[in-house]
Structure 1
Amino acid sequence: MSSLDVLLGQGRTAEVYAWGEGLILKLYRTGFPKEWVDHEFRVARAVRETGVDAPDVRERVHVEGREGIVYERVEGSTLLGALQIGWSPERIGEVQAELHVKMQGKTLRGVQGLDAAKQEASPLPSMRVRLQDEISRAESLSEDVRSRVLDVLASLPDEQALLHGDFHPENILLTQTRGPVVIDWTTATIGHPLADVARSSLLLTLAALPPGLEGNPVIEAMRQTIHDAYLAHYHELTHTSPADLLPWKIVSAAARLSEKLPQVEHDRVRAFLETNLIYNL
């Protein structure tokens, strides 16, 4: 019988428990909106239906007055943890790029070819709509910068690729039996592939490091190497270029400013945006 005896991990919004043979329970904290949990469940099912290698989602549950989702339990170290078994930062970046390209080749059942108006019926939201909303809500943007960024977004093409929304080495597990498995799909959307690459690029280069690691020259150099290898290999595989990616990085940076970022990360993202917005016009 399953119980809440074995806590595997926890975060701001939920706790994760062992839940029977080969399963885990993601149990949201009391008061977390039921609609958000329902959304995650729908997203997880839709992602699995594409054929991408992600944890299987089993059922939506209500346990001890709290909302939860039962997932397949996936065992493995993160892609970043592969450093401990001798992988180079370059190899980690290249594997991330290969997985990203493979993932973006997937389409949701019934979604391929949808126009923007019909995307509202998709189980996943539109990345373009999400970016528009986040840019509009970013309080630290001046109205002039906001307007210019929205103009950049309006000029960019749209597609219906599967996008993760938080694709970095810590969200990739290396398993012994099935290879890499991508986890944490709560921010998944559909849209242009480069929108997802832009967010990954910003996360790899501008995100604040954990306390004690910020400013460490070895760590900073390592993540820059992972980033550079990731982008170079991605561009090689997709025949795209840094110039193609830059407008997407600009709109992604503006959208990031709607989030509750650590001050050091907020300042980095804002500086990137202001510098590159000038040269993009």
Structure 2
Amino acid sequence: MNLDRIIAVRTDKTVYRDGDRCLKVFNEDFSKADVLNEALNQARIEETGLNIPKILEVTVIDGKWTIVSEFIKGKTLARLMEENPEKKDEYLSLFVDLQLQMHSKTCKGLTKLKDKMNRKISETDLSATVRYDLHTRLESMPKHNKVCHGDFNPTNIIIADDGTPYILDWSHATQGNASADAARTYLLFWLNGDIDGAKKYLDLFCERSNTAKQYVQKWMPIVAASQTVKGNEAEREFLHSWIDVVDYE
């Protein structure tokens, strides 16, 4: 096993390439339950037939929990957008098509999106009044059971050398309302400073899914609130602006 080739470094994990395998090595203090849940999510998504790296094993390396999956040789959609700005609209079109393909799937074993968001809202530092309004709004939204990624953005799409797209990182996967997933993606574009991309994305998503833009926007304060739990200070300030801007019904 060769852990010399680092692919990515995150706050609580490091991703390595070992030949045709990809090793996601979590920090020693990372929750075992969260690691196993991520692996289980990925295994369940495999069964839907979506193009994703297959899980090979879950193991412990030097006292650190590790998820081993197939290594997909290629470039992320984010990198392709950066390298070929003239093709950004084309890549964005593919991005939306992949998300809609994912939303066409169901996976009964996944956590319910509404349950997760209710829990996250309860964990925020928002006032009791705002939390109550958000819980009420969430409860009023339609219940669906579509596969939702929870972190669907161009860095989590790899285009393999043969042109096949793969969706990565299923740690936040749930089953629920596709418009909540779209609201999350829209906010991710904003958080990345790509406001033009956010607007184009939302227009495309709503057009191709025949969804009213206002309906996706109704999810934004809920999604923004649920994200404040793990965001950094700058992100939390931005997300709070999305929560505050809404007139609650």
TM-score, normalised by the number of residues in structure 1? 0.83
CA distance in 2, matches of 1:185, 1:87: 30
2:30 paired residue number: 32
- Paired residues for 1:135-146 under 5 Å: 135-139=121-125, 141-146=126-131
Percent of paired sites with the same residue: 25
1:10 paired residue number: 9
CA distance in 2, matches of 1:96, 1:183: 13
User: 1:61 and 1:230, CA in 2 relative to 1: closer, same or farther beyond 3 A?
Assistant: same
Residues 193-212 of structure 1: per-residue CA shift (max 9 Å, x gap):
1110111111111x1x5xxx
User: 1:226 and 1:93, CA in 2 relative to 1: closer, same or farther beyond 3 A?
Assistant: farther
Secondary structure at the counterpart of residue 173 of structure 1: strand
Q: Is the 8 A contact 2:187 2:198 kept in 1?
A: no
Give how far 1:91 is off: 2.6
Determine if the alignment matches structure 1 residue 243 to structure 2 residue 222.
Answer: no
Match 1:266 to one of 236, 239, 244: 236
Residues 113-157 of structure 1: per-residue CA shift (max 9 Å, x gap):
xxxxxxxxx2x2111001101111111x11111111111111100
Higher relative contact order (CA 8 A, sep 6+): 1
Q: Is the 8 A contact 2:146 2:176 kept in 1?
A: yes
Give the ranges of 4+ consecutive aligned residues of structure 1 lying more than 6 Å apart after TM superposition. none
Give how far 1:86 is off: 4.6
Give the superposed CA RMSD. 1.7
1:175 paired residue number: 160
Aligned length: 248
1:51 paired residue number: 49
TM-score, normalised by the number of residues in structure 2? 0.93
Give how far 1:178 is off: 4.5
1:230 paired residue number: 201
User: 1:101 and 1:12, CA in 2 relative to 1: closer, same or farther beyond 3 A?
Assistant: same
Residues 23-59 of structure 1: per-residue CA shift (max 9 Å, x gap):
1211212232222211111111001111111111111
Secondary structure at the counterpart of residue 26 of structure 1: strand
- Paired residues for 1:160-199 under 5 Å: 160-199=145-184
